[in-house]
Amino acid sequence: MDIESSHSPEERPLKEKLAETAAERDYYRHIAERGGRTGLRSVHQLSRIIENLHHTEKALRDAQQTLEMKVAQRTAALAKANEELRKEIAERTKAENELFESRERYRELVDGANSVILRWNRQGTILFMNPYGLDLFGYAQKELFGKNLMDTIVSPSSQKDADLGTIINAIFTNPEDFSKNGNICKDGRKVWINWTNKAIFNEAGEHVEILSVGNDVTQRRIIGQQLKESEERLRLALAAAHQGLYDLDLRTGVAKTNAEYALMLGYDPSTFEETNQKWMDRLHPDDRERVTAVYRGYLDGEIPEYKVEFRQKTRAGDWKWILSLGRIVERDADGRPLRMLGTHTDINDRKQAEEERLDLERKLLHAQKLKSLGVLAGGIAHEFNNLLLTILGNLDLALMKLTPISPAHEYVDRAVQAAHCSAGLAAQMLAYSGKGTFVVQSINLSELVEAISHLLESSLTKTAKLVMNLQRDIPDIDADVAQIQQVVMRLITNASEAIGDDLGVITLSTGVQECTEAYLQKNRLADKLLPGRFVYLEVSDTGSGMDANTQQHMFDPFFTTKAVGRGLSMPAISGIVRGHKGGILVESVKGQGTSVRLLFPISASAPEIAPGKAARDEMQEESCPIPNHGTVLIVDDEEMVRKVCRAMVEHLGFSVLTAEDGIKAVEIFQARSSEIDCVLLDLSMPKKDGLATYEDIIRIKPDTKVILSSGFHEGEASSRFSAKGLAGFIQKPYRLATLRSTLYNIMF
């Protein structure tokens, strides 16, 4: 830099004066030199000249110093200016570099953004779009830049009922109003973009551009729509399945529920509000502790799943079974449960069905037990009857050997009476097994009860009063009179004993009723009865009643709440009623009394007497003549029975052949059929039973007279020989007179 040219204006006079002083100094020096040479100068003039010279030199020095100082100051100022300029240049260079780097970062950010970045002006012209947006809409840069929005990415539907200017002005006026829009790609695909718009102003404050940043929410919208549709399907499915849905906030205890949840409990969904406490308050008292333990255990992580059944009180006040399922769907940072989702399912019908199934299973098990006991009782009675036949047969033979005045006659008669009592016990066991001796005829139940009313009165205790409500015009039933009389007597006796020493009333009623399938489900017997009309006999008392356990075992043999050694009354009644294809319904409350209703099918035919009357008619036994010829084949697997029967038949004047089983009997009959006049055939035998033996005998000689002998009653035994042509039937145990009458009626 030129320093001279850089002097400030105030430095120029000093410079000029310095130059003048230097010139004057040079002049006086020249004069002095000349005066010294010529001697023309005076001392005074020389002194003045020297003094002026000194002043001039001093002024020159002062001016030089001032100039140097000014030059130093200016040099320092210039140096400072140069430093500041250098710094300014460095800062400007740095700013330019930073601006370049910022622009590069911005470019990288814009180019690498996963959002659409769009700039466009008031005319709708696209000024810029980043690569992501170009790729999304399917355009190249040259295809889109400078083009109008309405001709490219904006859906035609957006232009409906509005021109371009109106739409653009609306966007410029309220950019945020167009935050979400459906846009069109180059290939026609529709995409949903969530736009954020920002107006760009010029220096005059005018809107000139819009910067729009858009995020593709098409997939989110599709998922949202699918979720909405899924929720709707779930809602419809839950409604169709009658499932309630709950969303429980575990912090507040407030639950959001769907309509089915409220309707399930009888509440109006529009006003129903559910909380954890209300839910617990509606729990059945018997379920509350168990359900609470499961609920707390699941929340505490002690139970892997929440699944529990309980009863909830409905708005109507009754109880409904609910299956509740749930799962924790939200926890806090410490793992504590915050939210629980689940369902309520109405399982009331299923529970009732389960209870009915369990009740049927209990009845079935009970029936199987009773059936097993019945088979046992029938088997025992069968064997017992064989023993009694041996005893009575031998006693009859002994009596035949005794004279009327023999001292032993009395003892034998007592033995015969004891055997008859034993036969009664066997009859009770057969009645329990349902295979007792029935002589069926059509009877009017009300007339039968009225006929034995005096006997019923005599069986009451002094504190019991009998009231009879007998319907007269009821249909007949097919029944054994003696058995039904026994049933009525035992029911009245039981009712009287239930009243005991207290005053009480026994009501005996008869009538006819229409029974539905639901009503017949209460039948205590295992045999299923078909719905229809039944004649009923009911005995009710105001006695002590029975608890559930007693009712459960009341038909078990030898079960009794009375003295030891009893307990065949109700089992025998059940056997008799079962044998009549009827039913028994019992209602009893401890301390309030008992009601037992027997149902009997209405007779479908005219009155008839079952065959076998000769086997029970002992009034004419003594007058039957004794035949004096013929051969009888006795077939029985019990040796004692064969021996006594042989003796009895031989005593009657017949020749006797015996066989210990069916196979031996067929062999004997095959060899000697021409001389055998009658076969006395046992029903139950090993190897070959009575039916198979009978069929073989009839095949050999069709007109053979066969008398069936069994401990079971005639109807049970003969039913297996229906249409087979049996000549007769004799019930074990039988006496000599009965055998004589049967043989005589068949053979003569």
Residue 194 has what pLDDT? 86
Confidence of residue 285 (pLDDT cuts 50, 70, 90): very high
Q: Is the pLDDT of residue 560 over 80?
A: no
User: In the chain, where are the structural domains located?
Assistant: 4-108, 113-216, 223-346, 353-424, 440-601, 613-747
Integer Cα distance of 679 and 416 in angstroms:
27
Q: What is the mean pLDDT of residues 580-601?
A: 89
Q: Is the pLDDT of residue 265 over 50?
A: yes
Residue 619 has what pLDDT? 33
3-state secondary structure of 30: helix
The torsion of the CA quartet 475, 480, 483, 486, rounded to 10 degrees, works out to: 50
Q: Is the pLDDT of residue 605 over 60?
A: no
Average pLDDT in the chain: 79
Q: Is the pLDDT of residue 704 over 50?
A: yes
Residue 10 has what pLDDT? 54
Q: Among 225-229, 261-265, 518-522, 533-537, where is mean pLDDT lowest? A: 225-229
Q: What is the mean pLDDT of residues 47-65?
A: 73
Confidence of residue 276 (pLDDT cuts 50, 70, 90): very high
DSSP 283: B
Q: Among 329-333, 422-426, 724-728, where is mean pLDDT lowest? A: 422-426
Confidence of residue 622 (pLDDT cuts 50, 70, 90): very low
Residue 476 has what pLDDT? 92
Q: Among 91-100, 193-202, 434-443, where is mean pLDDT lowest? A: 434-443
Q: Residue ranges of the alpha helices (H) in 113-175?
A: 131-137, 141-144, 164-173
Which of 8-22, 84-98, 361-375, 721-735 is predicted most confidently?
84-98
Q: Is the pLDDT of residue 701 over 80?
A: yes
| 148-180 confidence digits (pLDDT tens) | 888 788 876 655 545 556 766 777 677 666 566
Q: Among 105-119, 584-598, 682-696, where is mean pLDDT lowest? A: 105-119
Residue 272 has what pLDDT? 94
Q: Out of 3.40.50.300, 3.40.47.10, 3.40.462.40, 3.40.50.2300, which CATH number does the structure's domain 613-747 have?
A: 3.40.50.2300
End-to-end CA distance of the chain: 176
Residue 327 has what pLDDT? 92
**Does 503 or 367 have the greater pLDDT score?**
503
Q: Is the pLDDT of residue 682 over 60?
A: yes
Concatenating the DSSP letter of every residue in 336-351 gives -EEEEEEEEEE-HHHH
* Percent share of the chain, pLDDT over 70: 77
Q: Out of 3.30.450.20, 3.40.190.150, 3.40.50.720, 3.30.1520.10, which CATH number does the structure's domain 223-346 have?
A: 3.30.450.20
Concatenating the DSSP letter of every residue in 56-76 gives HHHHHHHHHHHHHHHHHHHHH
Residue 683 has what pLDDT? 85
| Of 265, 311, 270, the residue nearest 288 (C-alpha) | 311
Confidence of residue 4 (pLDDT cuts 50, 70, 90): very low
Quote the radius of gyration of the chain (alpha carbons, Å).
64
Concatenating the DSSP letter of every residue in 591-621 gives TTEEEEEEEEEBP-S---PPS-HHHH--TTG
Single-letter amino acid, residue 491: L
The third-level CATH classification (topology) of the domain covering 440-601 is Heat Shock Protein 90 (3.30.565)
Q: Is the pLDDT of residue 38 over 60?
A: no
Confidence of residue 9 (pLDDT cuts 50, 70, 90): low
Domains 113-216 and 613-747 share a fold: no
Integer Cα distance of 281 and 590 in angstroms:
32
> Taking a C-beta distance cutoff of 8 angstroms, is the pair 217, 179 a contact?
no
Single-letter amino acid, residue 720: R
Confidence of residue 76 (pLDDT cuts 50, 70, 90): confident
Residue 366 has what pLDDT? 67
Q: What is the mean pLDDT of residues 183-187?
A: 89
- The CATH architecture one would assign to domain 113-216 is 2-Layer Sandwich (3.30)
Q: Is the pLDDT of residue 82 over 70?
A: yes
**Does 370 or 631 have the greater pLDDT score?**
631
